[in-house]
Chain A
Amino acid sequence: MDRREFLKQVALWSAGPILSPPVFDLLSPAGAAEIHMPEILTIKGTDLPAMVRSMTAALGGMEAFVKTGDKVVIKPNIGWDRTIEQAANTHPLIVSELVRLCLDAGVSRVLVFDRTCNEERRCYQNSGMAPALEKIKDKRFRLEYADDRHFVPVTLKNGRVLKEWSFHRDALEADCYINVPKAKHHGLTGLSLGLKNIMGAVGGWRGRLHYDLGPKLADLNTVIRPRLTLIDASRVIVKNGPQGGDPEDVKVLDTLVASRDTVAADAYATTLFGRLPNEIEATLEAHQRGLGQMDLDQCRIRRLDA
């Protein structure tokens, strides 16, 4: 390497720290979801892929959510180094079925990721997510780790407590964002559901979100608005959440809940734990801000047959 080449290299390498990342300035209209009488679907059974198909079919098919050429992000909970039996993560069969449905609908890209709490490779592997999704051989589909570099700063125009936070770039840019949370116990928030699942799509030091978490979750949910929220309540953690670990912590409910309205889906799923929607601070806060409907009397609840 001669001197000129060396200088060129130095200039190239030092470009990184000098340039700053792009700033997204999204203005998501709060309360854009259909607040008036949102529809909630629920289904009981053990054949998860079939249940996912019935649900989407009942909502008008995947074509009702995506069009040909869309970029889709599917965001499950893969947060913990726990097995399927331990029920801390979204069941991989639900996610793989959603991916297939999107691909069949002719989308141009499907991305699945979560920003994990435990080490990401262990989480993806031991949750069963990576083994299940590796079976999908389609170039349009990717299961990715959420590296730091994916997160870009966003100004929260509608934030009450949070004014700025970083979000996953692909989640912001997606034509369709599908939220696939796990329903489970959580020490601080009571339950972890659809609104809480956004924690895996944001960057930064997430521990710092934990005080005043309810209002902050509502803030974060003003930026990313899922087209569909499908809550996995097939096996749920009823204590020692959000990671559980012991078989005694797990209850089998064999239930899935879906809605276009995350707040409504959360509200219904809360009742599966014998609790009331307004006991969950994030649900209450999001409802009050007009992000969705938590009053189940104001929802159309359809129970599908498995």
Chain B
Amino acid sequence: MPMKPYWKQVRRLSQGICLLIFLFLFRQTDYSGTDTIPYAVNLFFRLDPLVLAVVTLAMKTFVSLLWPAFITIALTLVFGRVFCSWVCPLGTLIDLSDRFIKPRLKREPDLKFLKYGILTVLLMSSAFGVQFLGFADPFSLLVRGLAFSLDPMMNYLTSGFFDTVYAHAPAFVSDLTEHLYQGLKAFVLPYKQSFFHLAWLSFCILAGIFLLEFFGRRFWCRNLCPLGGLLALISKFSILRRIPVKSCSHCRLCESGCRMKAFDENSRFQPEECNLCMDCLEFCPDGITAFRFSLPRPRPFVDITRRQVILAGLTGLALPVLTRTQAVSQLPHDNIIRPPGAGDEIEFSALCVRCGECMKVCINNALQPLFLEKGIEGMFTPVLFPRMGYCEFNCTLCSGVCPTGALEKLTLDQKHGFVLGRAYFDKNKCMVYVREKSCIVCEEHCPVHDKAIKFDEKTVQRADGTSVLLKQPHVVEALCIGCGICEYVCPVEGAAAIRVFGKDERRS
């Protein structure tokens, strides 16, 4: 039938468009001359029903920002797991990687149950108040991998080349390359080089997902992706169905060629595993494969046994308890300065899906992911790292890109009054006190009016008997909002002589 190959092309087109939209939104996650970003850059997280499920369970309330996830659910109820093969940018990238990474395993063990297990763990632990979505959600892994490692790496390489030419080549060469560079900067490259903690880790996780392709095509999607698992469960009720329901016995090309391995050991078609890539329309020499609308007749089980569900459920129960009984959950912390708009710690970590958007958009590269400083629970959550960058006084971008409202959207006035922490002087290090020289770079940069850093003019007797008039700075605690610019600009060696400490929340 002439129509058959056509659907595969449409699927590929859809994948291409969605990937381009994803990359475009990724690039737009940046300052563009206004205080709001004109695109819904967090779109893919808000379309993600797994984010909806986990956040709703963790918060015990519906977060209205996440309404687009219902579009995905509706789409799945009609067409099945079409999201995985037509929309998901990670799936598209995995499909693209198949050109370079060929499966090496002859017989692959059946691990389809794992994704349901991971899903169960995520949902259970969220219900008990600690969510681990950031370790498994495909978009969190993808965006973090891109934002923390691949994008900075690409820019580092490219700007390294152009900067070298600019510094050393004769003008007529560098004029040309600068033109090219500006063009790349306008459309492809990020505005400036960023640097992230956990660049290595984020890169390795993302690379790992692609390396899994050595075990089989779409290995991640079939066996591990909890979003795939959730969509598979929903798609049991979908009305678009492939026929025949069993691969007919003569060639089994549809079965052997299926990237999702959507057939059980008896060659029965598993609609929840099918992501409607439409390849099998092409394989079938007899042309009997087709997709039809019909009422769903869900099989009573999925590829996970009752014991596995119970085990996963118990794990999901144990993890939050384990997390909360770690000493780290009780300790006051030096370096936990949450971004503007963050609520209390418990609410923040329940809402934050570790998507990396706020850190990506941070105009001064000041927001950085935590490692284990606050235990497993805090991993990949954003904190302000003032020695790296400070919170720009008039900027509200991070709270605007948060997909779940973990950072509440702030107006400029709210932002100006939002206290991230407080600054404290280390008079054993500040050069006004140690070297008896006026400096007050901190006072100069303090953006609040009335300045939170003030100075007294004081005549000080030096050791050699001479006296000197010094400007001695101090912090007015009630005025300080903890933006960290003082710590950022402090010119002393190593750690600054003025440091911002986050709002401490010792729990007992």
Q: Does A149 contact B (CB under 8 A)?
A: yes
Q: A123: shortest Cβ distance to chain B, in Å? A: 10
B447 touches A122 (CB 8 A): no
A16 touches B164 (CB 8 A): yes
B447 touches A243 (CB 8 A): yes
A125 touches B160 (CB 8 A): no
Interface residue total, chain B, C-beta cutoff 8 A? 37
Q: In which size bucket is the chain A interface?
A: 20 to 34
B441 touches A122 (CB 8 A): no
Q: Bound state CA distance, A121 and B166, in angstroms?
A: 22
Q: Does B489 contact A (CB under 8 A)?
A: yes
Residue in chain B with minimal CB distance to A22? B167
B166 touches A149 (CB 8 A): yes
Instruction: Select one of B364, B431, B444, B448 contacting A242, CB under 8 A.
Output: B444
B167 touches A81 (CB 8 A): no
Instruction: Select one of B161, B363, B449 contacting A240, CB under 8 A.
Output: B449
Contact residues in A for B303 (Cβ distance below 8 Å): none
Q: Does A246 contact B (CB under 8 A)?
A: yes
Contact residues in B for A164 (Cβ distance below 8 Å): none
Given A13-B160, A211-B435, A244-B449, is A122 in contact with B471 using a C-beta cutoff of 8 Å? Answer: no
Q: Bound state CA distance, A207 and B33, in angstroms?
A: 27
A119 touches B364 (CB 8 A): yes
Residue in chain A with minimal CB distance to B163? A149
Q: Bound state CA distance, A186 and B394, in angstroms?
A: 21
Q: B448: shortest Cβ distance to chain A, in Å? A: 8
Q: A21: shortest Cβ distance to chain B, in Å? A: 5
Q: Does A126 contact B (CB under 8 A)?
A: yes
Q: B158: shortest Cβ distance to chain A, in Å? A: 9
Instruction: Select one of A12, A13, A207, A249 contacting B441, CB under 8 A.
Output: A207
Contact residues in A for B448 (Cβ distance below 8 Å): 245
Q: Bound state CA distance, A12 and B163, in angstroms?
A: 12
B392 touches A211 (CB 8 A): no
Given A16-B163, A211-B439, A242-B444, is A122 in contact with B363 using a C-beta cutoff of 8 Å? Answer: yes
Contact residues in A for B443 (Cβ distance below 8 Å): 187-188
Contact residues in B for A188 (Cβ distance below 8 Å): 438-441, 443-444, 471
Q: Bound state CA distance, A111 and B414, in angstroms?
A: 38
Q: Which residues between 221 and 274 of chain A lie within 8 Å of chain B, taking CB atoms?
A: 240, 242-246, 249
B439 touches A15 (CB 8 A): no
Given A119-B364, A188-B471, A246-B449, is A13 in contact with B157 using a C-beta cutoff of 8 Å? Answer: yes
Given A19-B164, A149-B167, is A210 in contact with B449 using a C-beta cutoff of 8 Å? Answer: no
Q: Does A212 contact B (CB under 8 A)?
A: yes
Q: Does A50 contact B (CB under 8 A)?
A: no
B167 touches A122 (CB 8 A): no
Q: Bound state CA distance, A24 and B447, in angstroms?
A: 36
Residue in chain A with minimal CB distance to B393? A81
Residue in chain B with minimal CB distance to A209? B491
Q: Bound state CA distance, A244 and B491, in angstroms?
A: 22
Q: Does B268 contact A (CB under 8 A)?
A: no
Q: Does A117 contact B (CB under 8 A)?
A: yes
B392 touches A249 (CB 8 A): no
Contact residues in A for B431 (Cβ distance below 8 Å): 211
Contact residues in A for B33 (Cβ distance below 8 Å): 121, 125, 130
Q: Bound state CA distance, A208 and B471, in angstroms?
A: 16
Contact residues in A for B166 (Cβ distance below 8 Å): 149
Q: Bound state CA distance, A248 and B344, in angstroms?
A: 35
Residue in chain B with minimal CB distance to A211? B437
Q: Which residues between 175 and 203 of chain A lie within 8 Å of chain B, taking CB atoms?
A: 186-188
The secondary structure that dominates the B interface is loop
Interface centre among B168, B441, B450, B451 (most CB of A within 10 A): B441
Q: Does B336 contact A (CB under 8 A)?
A: no
Q: Does B395 contact A (CB under 8 A)?
A: yes
A21 touches B167 (CB 8 A): yes
Q: Which residues between 111 and 158 of chain A lie within 8 Å of chain B, taking CB atoms?
A: 117-119, 121-122, 125-126, 130, 149
A249 touches B449 (CB 8 A): yes
Given A81-B394, A187-B455, A242-B444, is A16 in contact with B438 using a C-beta cutoff of 8 Å? Answer: no
Instruction: Select one of B160, B392, B451 contacting A16, CB under 8 A.
Output: B160
Contact residues in A for B450 (Cβ distance below 8 Å): 240, 246
Q: A191: shortest Cβ distance to chain B, in Å? A: 13
Instruction: Select one of B168, B392, B449 contacting A119, CB under 8 A.
Output: B392
A207 touches B440 (CB 8 A): no
Q: Does A6 contact B (CB under 8 A)?
A: no
Instruction: Select one of B435, B444, B451 contacting A186, CB under 8 A.
Output: B444
Residue in chain B with minimal CB distance to A126? B394
A210 touches B168 (CB 8 A): no
Given A21-B167, A119-B364, A119-B392, is A187 in contact with B491 using a C-beta cutoff of 8 Å? Answer: no
B440 touches A210 (CB 8 A): yes
Instruction: Select one of A19, A117, A187, A240 contacting B471, CB under 8 A.
Output: A187
B167 touches A207 (CB 8 A): no
B31 touches A119 (CB 8 A): yes
Contact residues in A for B447 (Cβ distance below 8 Å): 118, 243, 245
Contact residues in A for B440 (Cβ distance below 8 Å): 187-188, 210
Contact residues in B for A13 (Cβ distance below 8 Å): 157, 160-161
B441 touches A119 (CB 8 A): no
Q: Does B490 contact A (CB under 8 A)?
A: yes
B394 touches A19 (CB 8 A): no
Q: A285: shortest Cβ distance to chain B, in Å? A: 15
Q: Bound state CA distance, A81 and B394, in angstroms?
A: 7
Contact residues in B for A119 (Cβ distance below 8 Å): 31, 363-364, 392, 395
Instruction: Select one of B168, B393, B438 contacting A19, CB under 8 A.
Output: B168
Q: Bound state CA distance, A122 and B160, in angstroms?
A: 25
Q: Bound state CA distance, A119 and B445, in angstroms?
A: 12
B164 touches A122 (CB 8 A): no
Q: Which residues between 14 and 56 of chain A lie within 8 Å of chain B, taking CB atoms?
A: 15-17, 19, 21-22
Contact residues in B for A187 (Cβ distance below 8 Å): 440, 443-444, 455, 471
Q: Does B191 contact A (CB under 8 A)?
A: yes
Q: B449: shortest Cβ distance to chain A, in Å? A: 4
Q: B152: shortest Cβ distance to chain A, in Å? A: 15
Q: B71: shortest Cβ distance to chain A, in Å? A: 34
Q: Bound state CA distance, A39 and B160, in angstroms?
A: 47
Contact residues in A for B491 (Cβ distance below 8 Å): 205, 207-208, 210-211
Residue in chain B with minimal CB distance to A83? B394
A-B residue pairs in contact (CB < 8 Å), sample of 13: A12-B161, A16-B164, A19-B168, A119-B31, A121-B363, A149-B167, A187-B444, A187-B471, A188-B440, A188-B471, A207-B439, A211-B437, A240-B449
A13-B157, A122-B392, A149-B166 given; 15 more Cβ-contact pairs under 8 Å: A15-B164, A16-B163, A16-B164, A19-B168, A22-B168, A81-B393, A81-B394, A187-B471, A188-B443, A210-B441, A211-B435, A211-B438, A240-B451, A245-B447, A246-B450
10 closest Cβ contacts across the A-B interface? A207-B491, A211-B437, A16-B164, A245-B449, A246-B449, A16-B160, A207-B441, A208-B491, A149-B163, A210-B439
